[in-house]
Amino acid sequence: MEALIEKDLPVERQKKPFWRSLIEKLSKQPIFIALVLLWIVLGFASEHFWQLQNLKNILIQAAPIAIMAVGMTYVIITAEIDLSVAAIQTFIACLVAILMVNFHINSALAILIVLLVSMLCGSVSGFFVAKFKFPAFISSLGMSSVCTGLALVITKGYSISGFPDAFNFIGQGTIASIPVPIVIVILVYIIAHVVLSMTKFGLDLYAVGGNEEAARLSGINVGKVKFIALLISGLTAGLAGIIWAARMASSQALVASQDTLDVIAAVVIGGTSLLGGVGTIIGTAIGVLILGTIRNGLNLLGVSPSWQMVAIGTIILFAVFVDYLGKKKSGN
């Protein structure tokens, strides 16, 4: 009887498995179609692209960028931008190394300490935005310089290695044959998606980015929302620094100094508007995959890192231009 009733329900009211619903949503996303086409093209261009180890490498190498992109998505939705993520990532990678190697602090405690420090870094940028209404790119640019300098000071410019195996497991281990960095990314994205799409804070982010003055008049504490967004961005940058250090089994200042460009590129490619009010975590995930695939494909084809930077910069300009045209067409 229940089967007959369900069969008679309109198609839109019948329950669909989560995976089928997700595939249907993704198939309607132009950026997802672009990703699939990119995979097909690179599959023909390089015989190594579709090898399982190469696909794992794409995901593992993109893990720090993917995690930082979550915090950046929150910030950009509010129509701000965080230029300190790469510097915080590097500083935290160096700090956790110093705590474990030089001060012999337990890896779990060291991780807790540096995550709190990363939140402090983000909250400093957020404080100037919330209290003094500084543009976030100004306060975060200052924080970027502070963190870069601190990384150089505490390491004295040397590489630090010799981490405990328990710490290296975060970057090099596997859980049920899945690399730990990928597991962490999946968990972070699930949490971030739920927060953004199912909580009041998520709605406030969109409201602030869509129309700050209207959000303020409706009773939203705009400064607080931006403060929390930047704090989260600092936290995700710190987590990325931990994964990066554990994967490389060493830390050195300035190594990841260009990652901010990749993070912004991934978020913008994923459909988050630099003008604020628009963006999704799923879109960011696709943007990260597109960016990681492009970098991997260019490496397989022997393209130099310099030209890779040109390619990424061009993609950002194109994505911003498309976003601007879309906003202009909609009258916003």
* pLDDT one-digit tens code per residue, 11-42: 444 556 656 665 666 656 678 888 888 899 99
State the DSSP code for 13.
G
Q: What is the distance between the alpha carbons of residues 296 and 42, in angstroms, rounded to a whole number? A: 9
User: Taking 50 as the threshold, does the pLDDT of residue 206 lie above it?
Assistant: yes
The pLDDT > 70 percentage for the chain reads 88
Q: Is the pLDDT of residue 326 over 80?
A: no
Find the mean pLDDT for residues 263-277.
92
The alpha-helical segments, DSSP class H, found in 133-273 are: 136-155, 165-172, 180-198, 200-210, 212-217, 222-248, 259-269
Q: Is the dihedral of CA 52, 54, 57, 59 positive or negative?
A: negative
Single-letter amino acid, residue 197: S
CA gap 287, 67 in Å, rounded: 12
Identify which of 239, 194, 202 has the alpha carbon closest to the alpha carbon of residue 67: 239
Checking phi first, is residue 41 left (phi over 0); if not, alpha (psi -120 to 50) or beta?
A: alpha
Residues 164, 107 contacting (CB under 8 angstroms): yes
Is residue 161 classed as helix, strand or coil in its secondary structure? strand
Can you give the residue ranges of every domain in the chain?
58-256
DSSP conformational letter for 232? H
**How much is the pLDDT for 110?**
98
The pLDDT score that the predictor gives to residue 46 is 87
pTM: 0.89
Find the range with the poorest average confidence among 65-69, 212-216, 221-225, 300-304. 300-304
SS3 178: strand
User: How far is residue 224's CA from residue 162's CA, in Å, rounded to a whole number?
Assistant: 40
pLDDT at 254 > cutoff 80: no
3-state secondary structure of 322: helix
Contacts of 316 (CB under 8 A, 6+ apart): 261, 264, 265, 268, 269
The number of angstroms, rounded, from the C-alpha of 13 to the middle of its chain's C-alpha atoms is 35
Model pLDDT, residue 312 = 78
